[in-house]
Chain A
Amino acid sequence: MEVSDQRLPTATFEDLALPLFDQLYNFARWLTDDSAEADDLVQETYAKALRGFSSFQIGTNFRAWMYRILRNSFLSSRTGLKNTVVFDEEDHDSIPATDSATPESLLIDQANRELVQQALEELPVHFREILLLCEVEEMSYQEISEALAIPSGTVMSRLFRARKALRRLLQAKLQGGRHGV
């Protein structure tokens, strides 16, 4: 942390932002589900971040900041999303002790990659994005909380629900697949 704090004041926007390009694009594409829209979203994100870079607080997480800008841009371009985001926030402290997944029921490996991709596509955006941030970007709860602008308690509960929803989808697909064979 000390090292990065010392580095930051002299780091250019280019130094910090360009390495995030591929992952930001991947994330944007998952959000938008459209190539042209993802391009626009990434461009808008970089343009906004560049303009806002002088107000970026040294010591805060740059990556989370970038994702937050991307996501806010996405939200404002899609007003519908805001309405779907909030429904799971109230009961984050009542995570049930057990969930539906039993260890034997779900053995996903890389052969099932397409299956997981389909399931992710079918998930509501707010579940999809938190899973991507946690699993693909390997963000900590703290980073996710910064990127999504939600409390860490909500990060935990939303992740829990997102995984539960994903498992359900996967189980349905796996069973459907078996029936099909």
Chain B
Amino acid sequence: MGCEDWRNKLDLYADGELSPAEASQLSAHMRSCAACAASALERVQLKRSVAVAGTRYQPSAALREKITKTVATKPRRGFGWQWRILAVPALLVLIASVAVNWYVGRESARRQRVYSELADLHVAALASATPVDVVSMDRHTVKPWFQGKIPFSFNLPELQGTEFTLLGGRVTYLAQTPGAHLIYQVRKHEISVFIFQDRGAETATLSSGPTHTVSFNMENWTQGGLRYFVVGDVSTGDIQALSKLLWDAK
């Protein structure tokens, strides 16, 4: 490259816009070319004097204060739309969680009410002089006894070879719904089994599973349109064992 070609690039060189390769080539050229070196120096000097001369005006303190105030009160970059993007799902989550809490709270209150009612029925029956209306250890006697007394039928398990014995049964009511109340015994402990049609407002949407209330263990489930509750002051193991027998009853 000749001097003329390099002269075209002196501005770019002074402005730092040449590629590193070209810049070093031009540097090499200038070491042997006084004219180009002088021209480059002049450009750099002009740049420098414009930089010095151009830095001239200072803003007033009043303006600085105004701008600082304007700027400081304003939110983060893109806050205008970002907060909406974040806030809408956040609000939905909040609404959902409030709803869930309300529902869970309501559900749990209802569940609690049902259980305490069942526990009351259990205790009341045991405290009664006649805990059962049909006294029989034979399921084939107890089951037919309920016919015509309650609007459904159910199966009771064979207890041969288990620790459980059937003491008898009675008709009971939960939220104005008739059901069967059976009393079993295991090692001198009575266990109540309640069977209702699973359509009553109180029981229909109850979640199944074991529960522990004060001094009682409970299990409940639905099976064939019926809601079963097993309540007693025995261990969860006994409750589960009896529940399984009832579940498997044919």
Question: Residues of A with Cβ closer than 8 Å to B?
Answer: 8-14, 16-18, 21-22, 25-26, 29-30, 38-39, 42-43, 46-47, 50, 53-54, 56, 95, 97-98, 101, 103, 106-110, 112-114, 116-117, 120, 131-132, 134-136, 138, 140-141, 156, 159-160, 163, 166-167
Q: Is the interface of A mostly helix, strand, loop or mixed?
A: helix
Q: Which of B59-67, B147-155, B211-219, B225-233 contacts A (4 or more CB under 8 A)?
A: B59-67
Interface size on B, residues (CB 8 A): 47
A129 to chain B, nearest CB (A): 10
Please measure, in the bound complex, the distance between the C-alpha atom of A26 and the C-alpha atom of B16, giving whole angstroms. 23
Contact with A along B51-74 (1 / 0, CB 8 A): 111111111100110111011101
Cβ of B107 under 8 Å from chain A: no
The answer to whether A140 and B59 have CB atoms under 8 Å apart is no
12 A-B pairs with C-beta separation under 8 A: A9-B77, A12-B76, A13-B71, A13-B76, A18-B71, A25-B63, A46-B71, A54-B80, A103-B35, A103-B38, A103-B39, A156-B12
The answer to whether A39 and B60 have CB atoms under 8 Å apart is yes
The answer to whether A110 and B56 have CB atoms under 8 Å apart is no
Give the residues in chain B near A156, CB-CB below 8 Å. 11-12
Give the residues in chain B near A14, CB-CB below 8 Å. 71-72, 74
Please measure, in the bound complex, the distance between the C-alpha atom of A136 and the C-alpha atom of B72, giving whole angstroms. 27
A153 to chain B, nearest CB (A): 12
Give the residues in chain A near B77, CB-CB below 8 Å. 8-13, 16, 53-54, 56
The answer to whether A95 and B8 have CB atoms under 8 Å apart is yes
Please measure, in the bound complex, the distance between the C-alpha atom of A54 and the C-alpha atom of B74, giving whole angstroms. 12
A61 to chain B, nearest CB (A): 15
The answer to whether A134 and B63 have CB atoms under 8 Å apart is no
Given contacts A22-B59, A39-B60, contact A30 B54 (CB under 8 A): yes
Give the residues in chain B near A108, CB-CB below 8 Å. 45-46, 49
The answer to whether B53 and A116 have CB atoms under 8 Å apart is yes
Give the residues in chain A near B21, CB-CB below 8 Å. none
Most buried by A among B7, B41, B76: B76
CB-based nearest A residue for B15: A134
Give the residues in chain A near B71, CB-CB below 8 Å. 13-14, 17-18, 46, 50
Contact with A along B26-58 (1 / 0, CB 8 A): 000000000100110111011111111111111
Other-chain contact of B11, A30, A98, A120, A160 (Cβ < 8 Å): A160
Cβ of B102 under 8 Å from chain A: no
CB-based nearest A residue for B78: A54
Please measure, in the bound complex, the distance between the C-alpha atom of A50 and the C-alpha atom of B80, giving whole angstroms. 11
Given contacts A54-B78, A141-B15, contact A43 B66 (CB under 8 A): yes
9 A-B pairs besides A14-B74, A117-B53 with CB distance below 8 A are A12-B77, A25-B58, A26-B57, A54-B82, A98-B4, A113-B49, A116-B50, A131-B54, A136-B50
Give the residues in chain B near A97, CB-CB below 8 Å. 4, 7-8
Most buried by A among B42, B50, B63: B50
Most buried by A among B16, B35, B49, B71: B49
CB-based nearest A residue for B72: A14
The answer to whether A120 and B76 have CB atoms under 8 Å apart is no
The answer to whether A166 and B7 have CB atoms under 8 Å apart is no
A73 to chain B, nearest CB (A): 14
The answer to whether B58 and A22 have CB atoms under 8 Å apart is yes
The answer to whether B56 and A117 have CB atoms under 8 Å apart is yes
The answer to whether A106 and B53 have CB atoms under 8 Å apart is no
